[in-house]
A and B are shown apart, each in its own frame.
Chain A
Amino acid sequence: DVKVTQSSRYLVKRTGEKVFLECVQDMDHENMFWYRQDPGLGLRLIYFSYDVKMKEKGDIPEGYSVSREKKERFSLILESASTNQTSMYLCASSSPGQGTFSYNEQFFGPGTRLTVL
């Protein structure tokens, strides 16, 4: 049974704190992703990684950084948390596609509800 786990389900932090969100997958997937979900905005990609130590910016990378030192672990870092980073954070992983007209689905973790006060 495939599994993506996230370190916390709920997190409350203060403005200015450094926040670490951890994600671990047990499927040996090359690709890993961090999204945030906000009402009316859907899932927005923050960062993704297609290999160890490789990372690329998504659509909303400002205020975030990531780390991928091992294949199974992808960390999202909020360098200095702000109230507008209060959100649901979702991690996902997938294996590479097989080319055009094919796709390997992303598997998601349960999410971390982060509140920044």
Chain B
Amino acid sequence: DQQVKQNSPSLSVQEGRISILNCDYTNSMFDYFLWYKKYPAEGPTFLISISSIKDKNEDGRFTVFLNKSAKHLSLHIVPSQPGDSAVYFCAASVASNTGKLIFGQGTTLQVKP
């Protein structure tokens, strides 16, 4: 049972345009969501997060939107740059001291110069 789903395995956009990566979840108990970025042969690095009491969080070129009623979140990258080409993972957490995360399958973003 996949509680966090990223239904698009890959996405290709032109440099300077907007990249939109999507994520759906099924567990209404999730109260915190994160996006991680992963380059080949490296570990994932934290990108941006959002609490379930908010609907938007912005950090520079990156914005995460949360629609709780639809159980959907999205990551917007504007403008996209070739260095953004990576695998992006959506992750969700239920409040606990264990810090356990549930990850999606990942979306490979390619930004073309």
B-binding residues in A (CB < 8 A): 4, 9, 30-31, 33, 35, 40-45, 48, 50, 56, 58, 90, 92, 94-97, 99-111, 113
Contacts and interface: CB of A to CB of B under 8 A. Distances in A.
Contacts of A30: 97
Contacts of B11: none
B32 A108 contact: no
A97 B95 contact: yes
A92 B31 CA distance: 21
B42 A111 contact: yes
B89 A97 contact: no
Q: Give the size range of B's interface with the partner.
A: 20 to 34
B44 A4 contact: no
Nearest to A40: B105
Contacts of B106: 42-43
B11 to A, nearest CB: 15
B85 interface: no
A108 B44 contact: yes
A30 B97 CA distance: 9
A107 B51 CA distance: 19
Contact of A42 (B34, B45, B49, B89): B89
Choose among A90, A100, A113 the residue with the greatest number of B CB atoms under 10 Å from its CB.
A100
